[in-house]
Structure 1
Amino acid sequence: MNILSVIAPLILVALLGFVLCKSNKLNKSQLDALSKFTFFYSIPAFLFYQMANADFSGMMDPKFFAGFYLPLLCCYLLAGLGNYFFHKKYRKNYPASAVFALGASYSNTVIVGLPVLLMVIGEQVVALVFLIITFHSTLLFGLTSAIAARGQAPEQTGSENTSADTSPGSAPKRNNFDWQGFFKQTFNNPLIISILSGLVFNLLAIPLPGVILDALVLLGKPAITLALFILGASLAYYRVRNEINFIMLASIFKLLVLPGLVYVAALYLFRLEPMIITVLVILSASPIGVNAYLIAKMQEVHQETLAGAVVVSTVMSVFTIPAWLWLLG
């Protein structure tokens, strides 16, 4: 199997975006408009259609979810703590720690994971893949929004972060969870809305007119290409070298630590079948998903880190995914 044939087109699309912006063929305002269309319309249409039409019958084993999501949450926690305690600029910053944790644990399941599994196992994995990733974005985006909302509560008072840390009167506000901010960030997120809506339509078997389905297909078709293009273009505006240590840390967490935890949990803790283990490990070993970078842009923290980490982890996955496949036999 040639993993390069799966990864190379993704890199080339991102490279095209970078070259066009670096050569001023595409300016910042044009890129922002393209980003808005992609994030608010094209990607949600793609996710809604996929969720609404996935076949989940006969695959509702709790062990499948536990084997994937328990290690996922452990990796998220470890990465978030790493940023919270050790990042020079974003130390003790809740939104930045949540965004970094998202980047270190959010998999590019649809663009990389699914094609690789189709090449290795075949079409029988499609339903299982969508079953496992049903709550992937919802869980991680919701958790990130919750942590970010908690960290933004002190800022609403108009005081600086440093004064919030030292002022005795600001402590109660830091300890109170900002439910309004959480629900606003979570349920105003078009990615989460599209995933949950598609799941509802699927579970309730709500039919959609053919013309609506066709429109969703057309709107969602360019989603992956546009997301990769925007990622590469955005790199032209960031000094990625300033965050190289945390770019590498996020990539290592994503490509080695997370799939390692999934492998141990699936094989030794839940004793799943070999095919299921392969699906879970390859999904978790996929490079960092582009949507994690879009969340970083929304939160306005770690944009450089996640933009670089998506690219670096994608390149590194050319070597790490075959290594995991060799280990899995």
Structure 2
Amino acid sequence: MLDVLTVTLPVFLIIGAGYVAVWRKVFSQGQVDGLMMFTQRFAIPCLLFLAMARLDLSEGFDWRMLTAYYSGSLVSFGAGVIGTLLWLKRGIEDAVAVGFAAMFANTVLLGLPIAARAYGEDSLAPNYTIIAFNAAFCYFIGISAMEAVRAGGTGFLGGMKTVARRMSTNSLMIGVAAGLLVNLTGLPLPGPISEALTLIASAALPAALFGLGGVLVQYRPEGDARGIILCSGIALILHPAWTWGIGRMLGLDQAAFRAAVLTAAMAPGVNSYLFAAMHGRAVRISASSVLIGTAVSVLTVSGWLLLL
């Protein structure tokens, strides 16, 4: 267990340092927002661009791994919806927002550094494959469900246009798409450009983890304890357990299996809060689940690593 904690604790200590720095006003919220802007719009897109440009597509895109992971996402979404309706006794629109938070794992800021520390940088190809589809898949499910249950709104087509517009201007998706384009076309990257991108990418995850801690100060846990338990429990336990079972059933190789289960075990990402705020539904549950889920995942992710 101590060996596992040496993998996970440094990641969460960096997050904790960012949280304390903003909480104690060593960093202002504006400074942390600027740091996150650098990582989200510049450094992490560079990281994803290089990863997708160098990805071995013949090995990385394993349909069995994607089936195991994303069937788990759908099950998590459904469990969040049903749990909100039957246990929390809240409306269907709140249920969709909670379901979205339950399925949207923090694949980049938590998933990548933990997997890299556990299994090495060379093991991350399956993780990048999952990341390439995660935002588009989750937003498609969430927007589709929300518009299907809403009377009025922009409608399904309007919702899909919103998703398409956001994905096309999202710097992370641009990094993934540009990297895939370079990969598929075989365009060479000049040495100085590749070195510059590598230098920037090397700063992405440590800076983003520190910034994530600072951002989490905003998401103070406020009431709705059962909703937070429901959302966090689905994200941290049900999603990886389902992925584990389907991955074993489909006969995933070790690298893909570890990547799918470990990524599924991550806490809800900040996009969970953004989706809830965009629709004005279950905002407190979603925001608090990001904070509490991230804190509790110190133990649950360590447990999954121990099992793996």
**Is 2:300 aligned against 1:320?**
yes
What amino acid does structure 2 have at the position aligned with 1:223?
A
Return closer, same or farther for 1:273/1:221 CA change in 2, 3 Å cut-off.
Answer: closer
How far, CA to CA, are the matches of 2:207 and 2:216 in structure 1?
14
Q: Go from structure 1 to structure 2 and tell me whether the alpha carbon gap of 1:56 and 1:183 turns closer, same or farther (over 3 Å shift).
A: closer
The answer to whether the aligner puts 1:202 opposite 2:187 as a matched pair is: no
- Residue 53 of structure 1, CA deviation: 1.9
Is 1:218 aligned to residue 219 of structure 2? no
Cα deviation 1:107-142 (Å, max 9, x = unaligned): 344555456556666676433333344323332245
Helix, strand or coil at the partner of 1:3: helix
The question of whether the paired residues in 2 share the 8 Å contact of 1:6 and 1:112 is answered with: no
Deviation at residue 256 of structure 1 after TM alignment: 0.8
* Correspondence for 1:72: 73
Question: Would the alpha carbon gap of residues 318 and 132 (structure 1) be closer, same or farther in structure 2, given more than 3 Å must change?
Answer: same
Alignment of 1:281 onto 2:261:
yes
Unmatched segments (≥5 aa) in structure 1: 152-164, 166-170
Equivalent in the alignment of 1:161:
none
1:103 aligns with 101
Structure 1 residue 52: Cα displacement = 1.7
Please state how far the C-alpha of 1:325 moved relative to its aligned partner.
4.7
> Deviation of residue 104 (structure 1)?
1.9
Q: CA 1:4–1:47 in 2, change beyond 3 Å: closer, same or farther?
A: same
2:8/2:302 contact within 8 Å kept: no
Residues 9 and 181 from structure 1, CA distance in 2 versus in 1: closer, same or farther, beyond 3 angstroms?
Answer: same
The change in CA–CA distance for 1:189 and 1:295 in structure 2 (over 3 A counts) is: farther
Q: Residue 289 of structure 2: which of 293, 298, 309 is its match? A: 309
The answer (yes or no) to whether the contact 2:7–2:117 under 8 Å persists in 1 is: no
One-letter identity of the residue aligned with 1:286: M
Please state whether the residue corresponding to 2:166 is helix, strand or coil.
Answer: helix
Q: Which digits, 9 at most, give the CA deviation of each residue in 1:195-251, with x for residues without a partner?
A: 222222222222222232233223333332333223322333343133443333222
Q: What does residue 52 of structure 1 align with? A: 53
Larger radius of gyration: 1
Instruction: Report if the CA contact (8 A) 1:7-1:314 is conserved.
Output: no
Name the aligned partner's letter for residue 78 of structure 2: L
Aligned residue type for 1:283:
T
- The residue correspondences of 1:1-329 to structure 2 (distance < 5 A) are 2-80=3-81, 82-83=83-84, 91-93=91-93, 100-110=98-108, 112-113=110-111, 125-144=123-142, 150=147, 171=151, 175=155, 177-178=157-158, 179-268=160-249, 270-273=250-253, 276-289=256-269, 292=272, 305-306=285-286, 308-325=288-305, 327=307
1:240 alignment partner, SS class: coil
Q: State how far apart, in whole Å, the 2-side matches of 1:282 and 1:309 are.
A: 19
Cα distance change, pair 34–304 in 1 and its aligned pair in 2 (3 A): farther
Determine what percentage of the aligned residue pairs are the same residue: 29
1:300 Cα shift? 7.5
**Residues 126, 255 of structure 2: 8 Å contact kept:** no
Scaled by the length of structure 1, what TM-score is found? 0.74
**Residues of 2 paired with 1:123 and 1:237: CA distance?**
32
Aligned partner of residue 286 in structure 1, secondary structure: coil
| Unaligned ranges ≥5, structure 2 | none
Q: What is the CA distance between 1:175 and its match in structure 2?
A: 4.7
Distance in 2, matches of 1:123 and 1:20, equals 29
Q: C-alpha distance in 1, partners of 2:17/2:225?
A: 22
Shift of 1:258: 0.5
Shift of the 99–22 alpha-carbon distance from structure 1 to 2, 3 Å rule, reads same
Rounded to whole Å, the distance in 1 between the matches of 2:19 and 2:238 is 29
Q: Is the 2:236–2:267 contact (alpha carbons within 8 Å) kept by the matching residues of 1? A: yes
Deviation of the 1:257 alpha carbon? 0.4
Report how many aligned residue pairs link the two structures.
306
CA distance in 2, matches of 1:59, 1:37: 28
CA 1:38 to 1:68, structure 2 compared with 1: closer, same or farther past 3 Å? same
Structure-2 change in CA distance of 1:266 and 1:22 (3 Å): closer
TM-score, L = length of structure 2: 0.78
